[in-house]
Structure 1
Amino acid sequence: MSPAWHRVFWTAIAAAAIWGFWLLADGTRPYFRAKEPVLLDIERGARTRDIARRLEDDGVIRSRITFLALHYLRPGNTLKAGEYDFEQAASPLAVLRKLIRGDVSFQVLVVPEGYNRFEIADAVAAQGFSTRADFLWASEEASLVADLDPFAKTLEGYLFPDTYHFPRHSRPAAIARAMVERFREMYAVLKPQGSARTIHDIVTMASVVEKETGLREERPVVAAVFYNRLQRRLLLQADPTVIYAAILENRYDGGQVRQSHLNSPSPYNTYVHRGLPPGPIANPGRSALAAALRPAASDYLYFVANADGGHTFSRTLAEHNVAVSLYRQNLREQAASETATR
């Protein structure tokens, strides 16, 4: 090697070493110029250069040059789409690793027990995950539960109520799948071996029980009442099934059950049709599922709301009529008391 090339070689080595030391120093130095937490939303397909520029503009990194150099030294590591929170100083290398791992921030989605798929769609839309229509479309993918319930027409009943944490850009189908998976996990824990009832009937019963009472201790008794009525071929006469029928027909405004609802020919109307409704009317929680699987040992055939917020259970129609009269009397007295205090 000639002296000239020798100098060029060592100059290049020195330059590379200096650049390497600079990159190491700048790439591992924490930095945060923003005066408040930064929320960075990276869309699918966003270019790395554009992401680096936004990080620099928002004060998350000092220089996009350092960030890009570090990224190009890690070929094949793509930056994941999603929302990212940056609240404190971090080095460009730490920021890069966060985006490569996909450590996105999560949105909380609360699905209360007893919500039907229409109400869940409203909750999903309210949290900004998707439109109501898109989630309803996803909730019609009955193939997700075909192995459990070959009779299912939608995912109603299998979208397990719970508190979920999803990235904001989660797709409706992914949200629905997560809820179905949670149902599978819970049902595997609850289901007794050798149950003679199909999962379709159990979940349908659980959904009716869920909507009839909010008291967990009552649910096994309510389930027993309905099973007893089914055994005797009596109409279930469950108001929540009538309400669900009206919802499907776009005839329910959130008020009380009307005579027109009770007269509906819908197969979900258990005042008209014997047996369980064709499918679940809501998404039951753990205690309602447990009640449908293990009803109380009881010979009750009737129940009606009482003044204590629960229900009065009866074995005969005569007993039930007395309980209904007491309930109506309590309602009249309550209305009179409210009128007197105005």
Structure 2
Amino acid sequence: MWRHIASNGVTFLIVALFMLGGIILWGKQSYQAAGPLSEAICVQVDRGSNMRRVSKNLEEQGAVSSGTLFRVGADYSDKSSQLKAGSYLVEPGASMQEIVDVVTRGGASTCGTEIVYRIGVNRLSIQVRELDPSDNRYVEKAQFNPAVDEIPALYTETKADSDTRFRIAFAEGVTSWQVVDSLKGMDVLKGEVPEVPSEGALAPDSYEVKPGDNRLAVLTRMEQAQKKRIADAWAARRDDVPLKSPEELLVLASIIEKETGVARERGQVASVFVNRLNQGMKLQTDPTVIYGITKGEGVLGRGLRRSELRAETPWNTYVIPALPPTPIANPGLASLMAAGNPENTDYIFFVADGTGGHAFAVTLDEHNRNVAKWRVIEAERAADN
């Protein structure tokens, strides 16, 4: 009898173990399987929150099929204590395992609301925008110029929100003085800037910052990024380009940056200046003359005078027979690469063509015809105004 009972007990234990193993296997497969989410969502993790609250939120939004299994999986992988505050994008079909990784990885938030300080060549603008998870695109909520516009209440409210992300984006062709002047006006940053970084030393890009970040630390990040870009462009340059150093490549890139905002033209503009350098011709480019007047401190805001085109400054390429002594702006990576790898052309001249681009020419006669066409366009535009 006892043998029979023992036999039944062993059988029951084996069945129970099999069932437990099956449950564990099912749980693991469910935890790793694609989730039920059909559209991307933005999940906010508040400071001081826990996996129970997060799992409930995910369950309510239809991102996980079981909040309990989500928490068990997080506990099993030792990630329950690694929850990070922020706003996170959860992609369609994300598994519980992938969602746990997202909310415990840390670093920058991947969705929600952000304030972008845009440093442009002509002005600073501030944009408040929010990510629409359905198409992974930002929707603008407000944009204003702090120098002339009234500060909207939305900006003040959003800035005070602890989950708001902050980003500084500055355009190619902005001068170092313009960058520093703009950073000084951003009240989310702190710290003094004792001197303006050298011209061309800052990499135009988008940089995420946090309230209280030091301005010098932000500038250091920009300088480090630009050093790498210059080194990469110098290493990738053509052997026949008449540039003696990375510094000369940077100078030429800054001129290219100021001469065209059309991406497909950079190689052609670079070819004009390289051809002129190879032939011992003066570069004769207006942006260098303007820099000799403003030293990069703001925008000239008017046309050049004949006397200014004849004035002897170190940057007046209508007078000096070579590259100016310093860059005239902060060029982006594309212009740096174009300076080291210009297109193979015979172009010596270019002039605006009225479309935002330029008309290029090999001979002076051809160039003069292009200039005449541009003068007609200028006259028509002046008449319309």
The TM tier, using the shorter chain, reads 0.5 to 0.7
Using the TM superposition, give the Cα deviation of residue 166 of structure 1 relative to its aligned residue in structure 2, in angstroms.
2.2
Structure (1 or 2) with the greater helix fraction = 1
| Structure 2 CA distance for partners of 1:326 and 1:126, relative to 1, 3 Å | same
SS in structure 2 at match of 1:109: strand
Equivalent runs, 1:44-193 vs 2, <5 Å = 107-128=166-187, 129=189, 134-135=192-193, 137-140=194-197, 154=198, 156-193=199-236
Q: Distance in 2 between matches of 1:161 and 1:249?
A: 16
Q: Compare 264-273 and 163-172 and name the one that shifted more.
A: 163-172
Q: Distance in 1 between matches of 2:49 and 2:206?
A: 38
Structure (1 or 2) with the greater strand fraction = 2
TM-score (norm 1): 0.59
Using the TM superposition, give the Cα deviation of residue 251 of structure 1 relative to its aligned residue in structure 2, in angstroms.
9.6
With CA pairs under 8 Å and 6+ residues apart, which has the higher RCO, 1 or 2?
1
- Structure 2 residue corresponding to 1:225, chosen from 269, 272, 276: 272
Residue equivalent to 2:348: 301
Equivalent runs, 1:186-225 vs 2, <5 Å = 186-193=229-236, 197=243, 198-225=245-272
Residue equivalent to 1:18: none
User: What one-letter code is carried by the residue in structure 1 that aligns with 2:374?
Assistant: Y
Kindly, what percent of the aligned residue pairs are identical? 34
Equivalent runs, 1:11-26 vs 2, <5 Å = none
Residues 106 and 168, structure 1, Cα contact 8 Å, conserved in 2: no
SS in structure 1 at match of 2:235: coil
Task: State the Cα RMSD in Å.
Answer: 2.9
User: What one-letter code is carried by the residue in structure 1 that aligns with 2:204?
Assistant: P
Q: Is there any run of 5+ residues in structure 2 with no aligned partner, and where? A: 1-47, 51-84, 88-105, 107-161
Using the TM superposition, give the Cα deviation of residue 234 of structure 1 relative to its aligned residue in structure 2, in angstroms.
1.2
SS in structure 2 at match of 1:296: coil
User: What one-letter code is carried by the residue in structure 2 that aligns with 1:112?
Assistant: A
The superposition leaves residues 292-329 of structure 1 with CA deviations (integer Å, 9 ceiling, x where unpaired) of 01000011000000122210001111111111011001
User: What one-letter code is carried by the residue in structure 1 that aligns with 2:175?
Assistant: N
Q: Compare 211-220 and 165-174 and name the one that shifted more.
A: 165-174
Q: Distance in 2 between matches of 1:328 and 1:163?
A: 38
- Structure 1 residue corresponding to 2:319, chosen from 240, 254, 272: 272
Q: Distance in 2 between matches of 1:333 and 1:194?
A: 42
Residue equivalent to 1:74: none
| Structure 2 CA distance for partners of 1:104 and 1:310, relative to 1, 3 Å | same
Residue equivalent to 1:334: 381
Q: Distance in 2 between matches of 1:86 and 1:334?
A: 50
The superposition leaves residues 268-300 of structure 1 with CA deviations (integer Å, 9 ceiling, x where unpaired) of 111111101101100001111111010000110
Q: Is there any run of 5+ residues in structure 1 with no aligned partner, and where? A: 1-27, 31-84, 88-97, 141-153
Q: Distance in 2 between matches of 1:306 and 1:168?
A: 45
User: What one-letter code is carried by the residue in structure 2 that aligns with 1:273?
Assistant: I
